[in-house]
Amino acid sequence: MQADVVKDADVVVVGAGAAGLSAASALGNAGLSVTLLEARDRIGGRIFTLLDPKLCVPIELGAEFIHGRPPETWDLLERRQVQISEVDGDNWCVEEGRIGPCDFFSNVDKILQKMKTSARKSDQSFAEFLRDYSSKLKHTPELQRAKRWSTGYVTGFNAADPALVGVNWLVQGMRAEEQIEGDRAFRAEHGYTDLIEIFQHRLQDGGVAVRKNTVVESIQWRPGRVEITANCPNGIARLAAPRVLVTVPLGVLQARVDDKGAIRFIPELPTNKQDAIRNIEMGKVIRVTLRFRERFWEDLPKFREKNSQTMDGMSFLFSHDDWFPTWWTAAPAKLPLLVGWAPFHCAARLSGRSESFVIEQSIETLHRLLGVSTQELDTLLEHAYFHDWQSDAFSRGAYSYGKVGHGGAQRTLAAPVENTLFFAGEATDVGGHNGTVHGAIASGRRAAAEIAHAARVTLGSTSATA
């Protein structure tokens, strides 16, 4: 293979997801020369918006909702006058074969609020908390229900294993959400692609050199100098810079060095950084978006009492199904789309399976939940969208969560090494916003500030050697 000689930059940023895009554009606009390396043939990372050609609406394969009103996302969108609309509609639940409107969140909230007040210094897992909590109470069917729904919430929303996820991490997330009205959810007019376009403009304004299809394989480093080796379509590229910002997902940092996408650090990362990488967990999710010929659920449920509520205004449908427990519509928009969400062990069972298997399981789930025959659903189904984030070598999971007893791991992961290796990405957020787009943007901004600070100190020597 031929060696591709690339001009040195002040900073090389690895990964063009929300974190890398926000950091690279901030640094470029601050006057540093920045090269952004991205393994895939597109930017955005776990933001991946397609356009449905029939309905002309965005289809999200990754992030879809803006959780609350985080300034990191809202300020960028509002400055470009992107229309943002709130998710609105009825919640429905399926329980013991019965379907009906429900107040899902008040069921869950009682237990989560209890968890918040009982959070203490010595951490415990959510499963341990639930055990302790219910051991002090009378075992009523209501308690059983609340426990089941709250477990479903933690596995569904956080994509987390209840036996592994730390209560302290969950509570930090709840407190952070309260600051941004996190109980509300929004969508941008054209989906998250609106945000990516904004970043694209900012990269151009900052003169950032973007290299797609460039898989970073190794980072050789010593204080003040990194040499990066990357695989690109026309051979091996080598880049040198005084500092690098690594924004690849936690799953990629956890991969074995010979796995596709993995990055070999030479010398290895400090032990505390390696421990932090092990002590944060990557949650799993499989989501499908199904486009039907019509909104067949409008007249459901079947056999309902006269004048009782239909599912016409449904936003979310919650269940304990083993394959796709949660579903939602495009509400308030009336579109013939249903999104199925399979987190944690459901995702583990679906990951690595064929697209047809995943779609079939989603249709069978709808049959179980709604009572519509699979034959009818198959006839109504026009198109299905799906991406397996677990099998994708450049994500290796959906998003991160904090493991019990490892409260400081995100901060350790985020910390720069010798003012030379810098780290960002949703897993490095320390403000309680892991697993979100705004958390990723915030981490990119934090890392950009660290690099700008370091660059001011070393700028003289950088220009002298350039």
Check residue 191 for interaction with ligand FAD (CB under 6 A).
Answer: no
Check residue 216 for interaction with ligand FAD (CB under 6 A).
Answer: yes
Piece of the chain touching ligand FAD by CB under 6 A; list 60-68, 146-154, 295-303, 371-379: 60-68
The least distance separating ligand FAD from the CB of residue 385, rounded to whole angstroms, comes to: 11
Using the rule CB under 6 A, which residue among 107, 151, 279, 395 binds ligand FAD? 395
Check residue 394 for interaction with ligand FAD (CB under 6 A).
Answer: yes
Non-local (6+) Cβ contacts of 278 within 8 A are 254
Binding-residue total with ligand FAD (CB under 6 A): 40
Piece of the chain touching ligand FAD by CB under 6 A; list 118-126, 344-352, 373-381, 394-402: 394-402
Site for ligand FAD in 323-342 (CB under 6 A): none
Asked, as a colleague might, if the bond just before 416 is cis with ω within 30 of 0, I would say no
Piece of the chain touching ligand FAD by CB under 6 A; list 59-67, 75-83, 132-140, 408-416: 59-67
Using the rule CB under 6 A, which residue among 10, 38, 281, 321 binds ligand FAD? 38
Asked, as a colleague might, if the bond just before 301 is cis with ω within 30 of 0, I would say yes
Using the rule CB under 6 A, which residue among 10, 27, 36, 67 binds ligand FAD? 67
Site for ligand FAD in 1-30 (CB under 6 A): 14-20
Using the rule CB under 6 A, which residue among 399, 401, 422, 423 binds ligand FAD? 399
Check residue 74 for interaction with ligand FAD (CB under 6 A).
Answer: no
The least distance separating ligand FAD from the CB of residue 181, rounded to whole angstroms, comes to: 14
CA gap 53, 24 in Å, rounded: 32
Non-local (6+) Cβ contacts of 221 within 8 A are 227, 244, 265, 266, 267, 417, 418, 420, 421
CA gap 184, 201 in Å, rounded: 29
The least distance separating ligand FAD from the CB of residue 128, rounded to whole angstroms, comes to: 26
Q: Which two structure tokens, joined as six digits, stand for 431? A: 């403000």
Check residue 182 for interaction with ligand FAD (CB under 6 A).
Answer: no
Check residue 287 for interaction with ligand FAD (CB under 6 A).
Answer: yes
Taking the least distance from each CB to ligand FAD, the nearer of 377 and 413 is 413
Piece of the chain touching ligand FAD by CB under 6 A; list 38-46, 264-272, 329-337, 453-461: 38-46
Taking the least distance from each CB to ligand FAD, the nearer of 182 and 301 is 182
Site string for ligand FAD, 224-263 (x = CB under 6 A): -----------------------xxx--x--------x-x
Check residue 426 for interaction with ligand FAD (CB under 6 A).
Answer: yes
Can you give the binding site for ligand FAD, defined by CB under 6 A? 14-20, 37-40, 45-47, 62-65, 67, 215-216, 247-249, 252, 261, 263, 285, 287, 389, 394-395, 398-399, 425-426, 435-437, 440
